Chain A
Amino acid sequence: MRKFAQRRSTTGFLLCLPLILLVAGFVIYPAFYAIYLSMLNKKMTAFVGLSNFQFLLKRHTFQMVIFQSCLYAITAVILKVLIGFTLANLMNNIPGKKQRIWRGLLLVPWVIPLALSTLTWWWMFDPSYSAFNWVLNQFGFANVPWLGVGWIARFCTITVNVWGGTPFFMIMYLAALKSVPEQLYEASSIDGANAIQRLFFVTLPMMRNIISITILFSLIVTFAEFDIVRILTAGGPQDMTHVFATYAFQVGIQSGDIPLGAADSLFMFPILAFAAFFVLRGVTKRTKEIAT
């Protein structure tokens, strides 16, 4: 017993135990409980297998939710990657102290609690007091129903997500850029590579891992997005901005069908888990290649 207690692995396990308990209690248990709930009937009295998922797939509204969630997540992540990468490169060329100031300023959208900043955006889109419409009116343009027309509302929700999430990409890419060895650029310059060639043959290959991880991480988070859509449009107009989480809330909590809400919220889980497996496998493989 004493030997067992003196083992390094035992100490390590004991030190990790609080974290393991936290993960088990707040991540693993709720996840399995959600899976269990998604397989119950509406009254939660009988096991119905996958019929909640089958039912959802047949609904026109849910098909629209799938489309919107994919549109929302993929468009937002692509924009965040592009803008974040561009900003990171621009930032990387700003010398020392000034870079710190800009870095701090550009991080503000990411630091402000999302619910709070979304409320501010909502206020700017508001029908009665829209700041944007006021500006448009000053230039003689008519009011725009920002949240009242489906495609404009979709554009607004994606815009707010991109605004809030881009700084995260920027800071990650900036860190990655700084870790690219300067010798590689020098060598490519000697070989006659221009700026675009340096970008595609030095910078991007060296940043592949961090780009993969940020895209994966952001896709998961954006697919699970709730705050922005809930605050800006609550899924409207005519369900045209619902994403999985907001629809799950409406079905599960507001309409009292918790199993159907759970099934809705778990819908992307297998797809994202599958994607995560392959992306992380690729990252590990490349890391090993770099190490050898």
Chain B
Amino acid sequence: MSRAVYPVARALTCVHTMAAGVDSKPGRPDGHQKGPHVTTTPTMKRKTAGKTTRRSALKLATASAVLPLVHIRSGRAAGKLSIAFWDHWVPAGNAVMQKQVDAWAAKNQVEVQADFITSVGQKNLLTIAAEAQAKTGHDVQAFPTWEVHNNADSLEPMDDVMKRLTDKYGQVNHVCDYLAKINGHWMAVPTSSGTQYKGPCGRISILKETAGLDVVGMYPAKEGHVAASDKWTWDAHLAAAEACLKAGTPFAIGLGQTSDSVDTAGVLFRAYGAELVDKDGNNTVKSDKVRAVLEYGQKLVKALPADAVSFDDASNNRALISGQSALIWNPPSAWAVAKRDAPKVADDAWSFSGPSGPEGRFLPYLPYFWGVWSFSKNKTAAKELIEALLQRDTIEARCNEVVGYDVPPFDSMLDFKVWQEVGPPAGTVYNYPIRPFHHAVAHIAALPAPPEIAVQIYNRGTMPTMLAKLKSGQTIDQVIAWASDELEGFAR
């Protein structure tokens, strides 16, 4: 008998025995119970063997009425559940997730089908779109950044799960709020799996020798603020980029339309307070702050590689791993691949916080969410599984396996040892997540624009395209005019 059928059958047996007036006793003293211990009396035999009495009919009716309740309760401990996880870059990430799911399934007697869907070629987005249209598919989906908003109408509110988790582990950051809390309701739960920061990852020796930047000194692998890190500004970033370009190892910052390019441009704009669209949906591109960031951008783009405009999300990784670049903005995946393919590069790589601008220090943050479709047939079990997978011990176990790539949604979990231990060099990713002493703020490009506009600014790569236009020789006025026209189209 399958695990899914077993609890229901057990409940039915119970109901049947109740209806038949059968008394089920505890197991045998030796612990080998083969079935319910039935005691019958001659009177009972006579009654049940003959016509149906009013009493037995009532019992049967009561038992039948209880049956659906038993079935509902089995949502906690029965039924089928299918869940689509993001296919992790680190293969061990899928294995540990599967292990945790299996353990939960066995404990709760739920048949769980876990699928790992890649984001390569945006297959995950296609799957989400298809399931939303067909109103069928997985019970639980992993939603990257904007997908919660895109599919909010088809999602089950998760306020109850979020309340229990935040009561236990504290609040999540404002980017999660912005992306998943819709009309005051959590429509999905921020998860650690796939959630990442995208701060700078630089070559220790090149930055020190070429640009005079001691990144390990500014951001050591230990708690505490270092005064030198205050000098890590966007102007310092520009000076270092220019020096590294001259030395033949430019900063590999993309000006394409894919996520890495958008995220870096997003924090640059935010550091200058340059909003393209404000929180009320007004087009604010013709502002002094946007002009100021573009003036800075005019200088920065000259320090970037000639083909930066054609960068995709792998170009910067390859540039670092091949030893051609001094700095990229990326999670530790580039370092992890370098550790395997170019150990000398990995030994010399260090992740640290982003530079600060006139409005502060911001770091790209891309959270993933787990949400339950409103058409799911097993919402209770789905929510319970999500909650179980977001407990501190489960998150830490996964985080360890993926060498710290995943960032927990709760700041209270930033004390995991993994970021301190991972290397070489030891502590290379210690400053990968935002630490309180970094004085940095998580940010997603286009925030605070209303998400339905922001998603278009993000996915159409408006900000890096503005910088790309500067690189191609357009003036600031031309770039602003182009952006203004684009933004009007997004606000339909």
A residues apposed to B, CB below 8 Å: 42-43, 55, 58-61, 126-129, 143, 145-150, 153, 233-239, 249-250, 252-258
Does the CB pair B319–A253 fall under 8 Å?
no
Say yes or no: A148-B308 contact (C-beta < 8 A), given A234-B256, A255-B456.
Answer: yes
Bound-state CA distance A60–B462 (Å) is 14
Query: Inside 8 A of B465's CB, which chain A residues have their CB?
Result: 238-239
Q: 23 pairs across A/B with beta carbons < 8 Å?
A: A43-B153, A58-B489, A60-B485, A127-B310, A127-B319, A128-B322, A129-B322, A143-B306, A146-B307, A233-B310, A236-B256, A236-B461, A236-B468, A238-B472, A249-B122, A253-B122, A253-B125, A255-B460, A256-B146, A256-B147, A256-B149, A256-B151, A257-B456
Bound-state CA distance A128–B455 (Å) is 30
Size bin of chain B's contact surface: 35 or more
Central interface residue in B146, B310, B312, by most chain A CB within 10 Å: B310
Query: Inside 8 A of A148's CB, which chain B residues have their CB?
Result: 306-310
Query: Inside 8 A of A147's CB, which chain B residues have their CB?
Result: 307, 310
Query: Inside 8 A of A59's CB, which chain B residues have their CB?
Result: 489
Bound-state CA distance A254–B145 (Å) is 11
Does the CB pair B306–A145 fall under 8 Å?
yes
B299 to chain A minimum Cβ distance, whole angstroms, is 19
Q: Mark B136-178, 1 if CB is under 8 A from A, else 0.
A: 0000000000110111010000000000000000000000000
Does the CB pair A42–B452 fall under 8 Å?
yes
Ordered nearest first, which 3 A-B pairs have the shortest CB separation? A256-B150, A148-B307, A145-B307
A241 to chain B minimum Cβ distance, whole angstroms, is 10
CB contacts under 8 Å to A, within B297-350, are 305-312, 315, 318-319, 322, 324
CB contacts under 8 Å to A, within B357-400, are none
Central interface residue in A43, A147, A150, A256, by most chain B CB within 10 Å: A256
Does the CB pair B459–A250 fall under 8 Å?
yes
Bound-state CA distance A127–B315 (Å) is 7
Does the CB pair A153–B310 fall under 8 Å?
yes
Query: Inside 8 A of A58's CB, which chain B residues have their CB?
Result: 489
Bound-state CA distance A252–B455 (Å) is 12
Q: Is B258 on the interface with A (CB-CB < 8 A)?
A: yes
Q: Is B129 on the interface with A (CB-CB < 8 A)?
A: yes
B486 to chain A minimum Cβ distance, whole angstroms, is 7
A280 to chain B minimum Cβ distance, whole angstroms, is 33
User: Which of B125, B307, B311, B485 is within 8 Å of A254, CB to CB?
Assistant: B125
Across the two chains, which residue of chain B brings its CB closest to A43? B153
Query: Inside 8 A of B305's CB, which chain A residues have their CB?
Result: 127
Across the two chains, which residue of chain A brings its CB closest to B309? A237
Bound-state CA distance A62–B415 (Å) is 49
Does the CB pair B459–A254 fall under 8 Å?
yes
Does the CB pair B318–A236 fall under 8 Å?
no
Query: Inside 8 A of A42's CB, which chain B residues have their CB?
Result: 452, 492
Query: Inside 8 A of B315's CB, which chain A residues have their CB?
Result: 126-128
A135 to chain B minimum Cβ distance, whole angstroms, is 17
Does the CB pair B486–A236 fall under 8 Å?
no
Say yes or no: A250-B460 contact (C-beta < 8 A), given A61-B486, A234-B257.
Answer: yes
Does the CB pair A238–B469 fall under 8 Å?
yes
Q: Mark B240-262, 1 if CB is under 8 A from A, else 0.
A: 00000000000000011110000
Say yes or no: A127-B307 contact (C-beta < 8 A), given A61-B486, A254-B459, A258-B129.
Answer: yes
A267 to chain B minimum Cβ distance, whole angstroms, is 16
Q: Mark B448-482, 1 if CB is under 8 A from A, else 0.
A: 00001001100111000100110010000000001
